[in-house]
């Protein structure tokens, strides 16, 4: 007998606006203000698809700590946990696994955006993001937050 239970991946994602300090107090902010998305690097699940930056939460990390680490490792920016505002937690079911996604607004960051894993980075509006292939879990976020 095989175990049909799906594995669950814990992931933190950040919403970064083109300008530090943009308020996310309404759907209008996300639908009108450019926000950062990154493409999935070659060789990773759904390579080339766009997503909010972030990544896997390690067993010894909180979602905030993981997001700070991932943002530095992936796009060279420094973020402090105190500058992350929790927005929501969402579970997305893929065919063979599920993702529990912790989403934060990044209130402030330092450094120059520089992709470190061969991915693309771009600030885009919601309308622009709809013209790109976006991870299904992130499409759900765009729909719900915009």
In the three-class reduction of DSSP (H, G, I as helix; E, B as strand; rest coil), residue 69 is classed as helix
pTM of the predicted model over 0.85? yes
pLDDT of residue 1: 44
Cβ neighbour number for residue 94 with a 10 Å cutoff: 14
Q: What is the pLDDT of residue 27?
A: 53
Residue with tokens 């997503």: 51
- pLDDT value at residue 28: 56
Backbone angles phi and psi of 79, in degrees to 5: -135, 140
Question: In which residue ranges of the chain is pLDDT below 50?
Answer: 1-2, 21, 23, 25-26
Q: What are the extents of the domains in the chain?
A: 7-145
Architecture of domain 7-145: Alpha-Beta Complex (3.90)
């Amino acid at each position: 007998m095989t175990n049909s239970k799906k594995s669950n991946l814990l992931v933190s994602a950040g919403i970064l606006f083109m300008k530090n300090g943009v308020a996310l107090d309404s759907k209008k902010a996300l639908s009108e203000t450019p926000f950062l998305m990154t493409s999935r690097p070659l060789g990773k699940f759904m390579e080339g698809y766009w997503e909010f930056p972030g990544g896997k939460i390690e067993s010894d990390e909180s979602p905030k700590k993981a997001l700070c680490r991932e943002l530095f490792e992936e796009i060279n920016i420094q973020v402090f946990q105190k500058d992350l505002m929790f927005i929501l937690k969402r579970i997305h079911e893929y065919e063979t696994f599920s993702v529990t996604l912790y989403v934060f607004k990044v209130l402030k960051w330092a450094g120059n955006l520089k992709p470190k894993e061969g991915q693309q980075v771009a600030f885009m509006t919601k309308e622009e993001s709809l013209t790109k292939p976006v991870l299904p879990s992130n499409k759900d976020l765009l729909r719900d937050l915009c």
